[in-house]
């Protein structure tokens, strides 16, 4: 009734200990112990034969070394019992009641996954893990759930359990947690995760980031729970963001950034068409996460990331837009030396308009400046063009040359979305004391840091930090100021 799947690779020294641990289990139905030999150089026949009287054992030897993930997949395909437990060849069950505790919780709660407490040996100390959703240790899985959602391991050789468990979570598994220690992660200094740990750190972390993306990229093909899928994508984004911020390794930063961007695209695609329904359904959202996370999702949507929506105005929006466009047209016809009229129009047109600002007409904007926030002591030369469907912020003491374009709207590469009048909106932020040269084009989502200078004719597709000179197409930092 329970399949225990064990990948083995040169595990002769620890295999007897594992077999004793399995043989000692009580209070369980029949078990089948399946060993997948990942092309070891060692012979296990004599050890396995001595336990066949007490244990139902099957053994498969692979002709080439494929790694633990693929070996476990073969184990899943070679077995058929309703419950699956994964055991590493150098580990053991914590005591004789461990497997029985997992099985009982699975039966009583009709769970898809039961998670327990794990003890890890670390020299003379013990590390405790409670109900984690990363490793395979101390868990029992319902086979029918894995088959229904087509869940297997990736072919990568490390952190494949991260992707496996993440995909299970995406698909809406029912979890039961028990406060029982069932697994002892034994201290094996020769294991791949412990030997030369510093050497393997970067590849382990790369595979960790990869497997977060691996899981979400396969989520849609696995009949996912929509809301849980969205929030797991969000959680993954936050994990990689914080890891990127905290590490000093350039390699790790690049891994976290690369896979964070890929997960971001999945996340945006998930929420793009039905975001208002998504954020309004607080009862479902709060079932998984606290309200502060809901607020964070709103912030990501509103302030940072693009999503595609219908370019359709309500009657009130259309009237408001016409009002601001008419103000803009009047402003462009007003004599330049009519300071009083110009000042009155400027404060009506713009969302904010600071003191001592010079704006040289003609000026054009999609919403007539309605969503534009201009600080104090700015000089803005002629032919400033803005697509201000999204917010545009210009800091104090900034200079903007002639013929500059600032954009907050993008259209989809998907021809169907363009026919459906879908567009994306992302704000632009220009810091304090920034100089934007003549003919510069600034793309949606760009932030330009304080005191920076953007060379004439540049096309700014990505954010620029503070205190630098940047120029070119695409615009890149040339030197620090």
Distance CA 40, CA 188 (A): 17
**Which pLDDT score, from 0 to 100, does residue 288 have?**
41
Distance CA 224, CA 361 (A): 54
Q: How confident is the model at residue 223 (pLDDT cuts 50, 70, 90)?
A: confident
Say which residues have a Cβ less than 8 Å from residue 325's Cβ, sequence separation at least 6: 367, 368
Encode pLDDT of 406-418 as tens digits: 999 988 776 766 7
- Can you name the CATH fold of 2-195? Spore Coat Polysaccharide Biosynthesis Protein SpsA; Chain A (3.90.550)
Encode pLDDT of 101-112 as tens digits: 999 999 999 999
> pTM for this one?
0.60
Q: Nearest 5 degrees, angle CA 217-CA 279-CA 424? A: 65
Minimum mean pLDDT among 250-254, 333-337, 476-480: which range?
250-254
Identify the CA nearest to 212 among candidates 286, 267, 250: 267
Distance CA 322, CA 362 (A): 18
Task: Give whichever of 86-90, 154-158, 241-245 has the largest mean pLDDT.
Answer: 86-90
Q: Does the pLDDT at position 241 exceed 90?
A: no
Q: What percent of the chain has pLDDT over 70?
A: 87
Q: Are strands 31-37 and 57-61 parallel, antiparallel or unpaired?
A: parallel
Q: Does the pLDDT at position 460 exceed 70?
A: yes
Q: Does the pLDDT at position 293 exceed 80?
A: no
Q: Does the pLDDT at position 281 exceed 50?
A: no
Domain boundaries, the chain: 2-195, 212-305, 315-480
Identify the CA nearest to 230 among candidates 286, 278, 276: 278
Identify the CA nearest to 90 among candidates 137, 124, 153, 46: 137
Instruction: Look at 172 and 441; give whichever has higher pLDDT.
Output: 441
Same fold, 2-195 and 315-480: no
Distance CA 169, CA 215 (A): 9
DSSP 360: P
Question: At 362, is the secondary structure helix, strand, or coil?
Answer: coil
Instruction: Look at 375 and 189; give whichever has higher pLDDT.
Output: 375
**What's the average model confidence in pLDDT over 212-228?**
84
Helix intervals (H) in 110-180: 143-148, 160-170
The answer for 360, left when phi > 0, alpha when psi is -120 to 50, beta otherwise, is beta
Half-sphere exposure in the Cβ direction for 322 (13 Å, CA): 7
CB 395 within 8 A of CB 380: no
Instruction: Look at 301 and 29; give whichever has higher pLDDT.
Output: 29
Main-chain phi, psi angles of 310, to 5 degrees: -80, 135
**Which pLDDT score, from 0 to 100, does residue 205 have?**
85
Instruction: Look at 274 and 361; give whichever has higher pLDDT.
Output: 361
Q: Does the pLDDT at position 276 exceed 90?
A: no
CB 453 within 8 A of CB 434: yes
**Residue 44 CB neighbours (<10 A):** 17
**Which pLDDT score, from 0 to 100, does residue 161 have?**
92
* Residues classed as catalytic: 411
| CATH of region 315-480 | 2.160.10.10
**What's the average model confidence in pLDDT over 85-91?**
95
Q: Does the pLDDT at position 308 exceed 60?
A: no
Q: Taking each helix axis as running N to C, give the angle between helix 160-170 and helix 226-246, from 0 to 180 degrees, rounded to the nearest 10.
A: 140
Q: How confident is the model at residue 345 (pLDDT cuts 50, 70, 90)?
A: very high
Instruction: Calculate the average pLDDT of the chain.
Output: 87
Which element (helix H / strand E) includes 184? strand 175-185
Say which residues have a Cβ less than 8 Å from residue 35's Cβ, sequence separation at least 6: 6, 7, 8, 44, 48, 57, 58, 59, 60
| Dihedral in degrees, nearest 10, Cα atoms 365, 367, 373, 374 | 30
Instruction: Look at 474 and 294; give whichever has higher pLDDT.
Output: 474
CB 7 within 8 A of CB 38: yes
**Which pLDDT score, from 0 to 100, does residue 312 have?**
63
Q: Does the pLDDT at position 277 exceed 60?
A: no
Question: At 419, is the secondary structure helix, strand, or coil?
Answer: helix
Identify the CA nearest to 425 among candidates 255, 303, 280, 265: 303
Two tokens, residue 239: 């994990």
Distance CA 347, CA 171 (A): 52
Main-chain phi, psi angles of 440, to 5 degrees: -75, 140
Encode pLDDT of 131-140 as tens digits: 888 789 999 9
Q: Does the pLDDT at position 297 exceed 60?
A: no
Question: At 421, is the secondary structure helix, strand, or coil?
Answer: coil
Distance CA 460, CA 467 (A): 16
**What's the average model confidence in pLDDT over 25-40?**
94
Residue 203 Cα distances to 4, 125, 161, 244, 370, angstroms: 29, 26, 15, 15, 49
Main-chain phi, psi angles of 224, to 5 degrees: -75, 160
Length of the chain: 481
Question: At 94, is the secondary structure helix, strand, or coil?
Answer: coil
Q: Does the pLDDT at position 314 exceed 50?
A: yes
Q: Which residues of 318-332 are buried (b: 16+ CB within 10 A; e: fewer)?
A: eeebeebbebbeebe
Distance CA 141, CA 86 (A): 9
Q: Does the pLDDT at position 419 exceed 90?
A: no
């Amino acid at each position: 009734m329970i399949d225990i799947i064990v990948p083995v690779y040169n595990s002769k020294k620890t295999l007897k200990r594992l077999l004793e641990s399995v043989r000692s289990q009580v209070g369980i139905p029949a078990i089948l112990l399946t060993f997948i030999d990942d092309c070891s150089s060692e012979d296990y026949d004599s050890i396995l034969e001595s336990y066949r009287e007490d244990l139902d054992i099957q053994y498969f030897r692979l002709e080439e070394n494929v790694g633990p993930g693929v070996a476990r997949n073969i184990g899943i395909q070679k077995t058929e019992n309703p419950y699956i437990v994964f055991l590493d060849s150098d580990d053991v069950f914590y005591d004789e009641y461990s497997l029985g505790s997992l099985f009982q919780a699975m039966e009583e709660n009709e769970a898809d996954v039961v998670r327990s407490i794990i003890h890890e040996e670390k020299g003379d100390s013990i590390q405790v893990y409670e109900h984690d959703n990363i490793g395979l240790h101390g868990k029992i899985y319902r086979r029918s759930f894995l088959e229904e959602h087509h869940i297997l391991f990736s072919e990568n050789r490390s952190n494949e359990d991260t992707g496996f468990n993440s995909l299970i979570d995406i698909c809406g598994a029912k979890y039961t947690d028990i406060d029982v220690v069932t697994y002892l992660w034994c201290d094996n200094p020769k294991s791949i995760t412990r030997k030369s740990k510093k050497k393997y750190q970067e590849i382990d972390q790369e595979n960790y980031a990869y497997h977060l993306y691996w899981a979400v990229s396969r989520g849609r093909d696995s009949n996912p729970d929509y809301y849980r899928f969205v929030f797991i994508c969000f959680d993954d984004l936050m994990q990689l963001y914080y890891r990127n911020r905290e590490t000093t390794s350039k390699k790790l930063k690049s891994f976290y950034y690369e896979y964070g961007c890929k997960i971001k695209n999945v996340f945006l695609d998930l929420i793009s068409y039905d975001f208002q329904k998504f954020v309004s359904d607080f009862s479902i959202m709060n079932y998984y996460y606290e309200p502060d996370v809901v607020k964070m999702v709103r912030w990501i949507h509103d302030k940072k990331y693009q999503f595609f929506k219908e370019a359709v105005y309500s009657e009130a929006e259309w009237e408001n837009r016409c009002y601001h466009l008419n103000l803009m047209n009047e402003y462009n016809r007003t004599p330049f030396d009519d300071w009083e009229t110009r000042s009155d129009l400027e404060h009506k047109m713009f969302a904010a308009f600071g003191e001592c600002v010079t704006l040289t007409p003609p000026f054009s904007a999609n919403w007539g400046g309605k969503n534009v926030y201009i600080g104090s002591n700015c000089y803005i030369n002629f032919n400033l063009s803005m697509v201000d469907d999204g917010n545009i912020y210009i800091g104090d003491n900034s200079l903007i040359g002639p013929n500059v374009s600032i954009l907050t709207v993008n259209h989809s590469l998907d021809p169907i979305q363009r026919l459906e009048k879908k567009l994306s909106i992302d704000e632009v932020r220009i810091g304090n004391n920034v100089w934007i040269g003549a003919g510069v084009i600034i793309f949606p989502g760009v932030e330009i840091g304080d005191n920076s200078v953007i060379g004439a004719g540049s096309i700014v597709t990505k954010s620029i930090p503070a205190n630098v000179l940047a120029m070119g197409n695409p615009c890149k930092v040339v030197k620090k100021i």
